[in-house]
Amino acid sequence: MASENDIKEYAQIFYEYFNNKYDNFSADVYYNPKGYTLINFKARQKDKPQYSINFQAVDKINEFLEKLLNLSINKITKEIFMKKDIKGFQENSFYVIKTNEYKNWHKAIARRDLNEFINAIWEAEIASTKS
């Protein structure tokens, strides 16, 4: 199982990269020790966040699902059990949801996931300039 520290180190890799590129970048981590973690990386916030990485343990699965639903994710419970991880974008944020297995949260995986997000952002920027 991934520890809270493993997940914080994963989020820190994203923070170190994106903090220099976006105003007021931060990460909200919702950790459910019984199964899943959601990290919502937020950019271009109006106010500077109090913490760069805001870590919250969510003990009750209902609280955790509420956090997921606040991201406007449709059919999240079916998808998460099928894929075991979900990555996506909102207007000024992007998120990752994974099971708490250590293999999903170590630093090498953070770098791989970071590259996936960077490539997706570049592709979106290129597509918007072609329009």
pLDDT in tens, 31-62: 887 778 889 999 877 778 777 998 887 766 55
pLDDT band at 69 (very low <50, low <70, confident <90, very high): low
What is the span of the domain harbouring residue 17?
4-130
How far CA 115 is from CA of 25, 109, 119, in Å, comes to: 17, 10, 6
Question: Hunting for tokens 């590129």 — which residue is that?
Answer: 21
Alpha helices in the chain (DSSP H): 4-18, 61-69, 76-83, 107-130
Number of folded domains in the chain? 1
Residue 64 has pLDDT above 80, yes or no: no
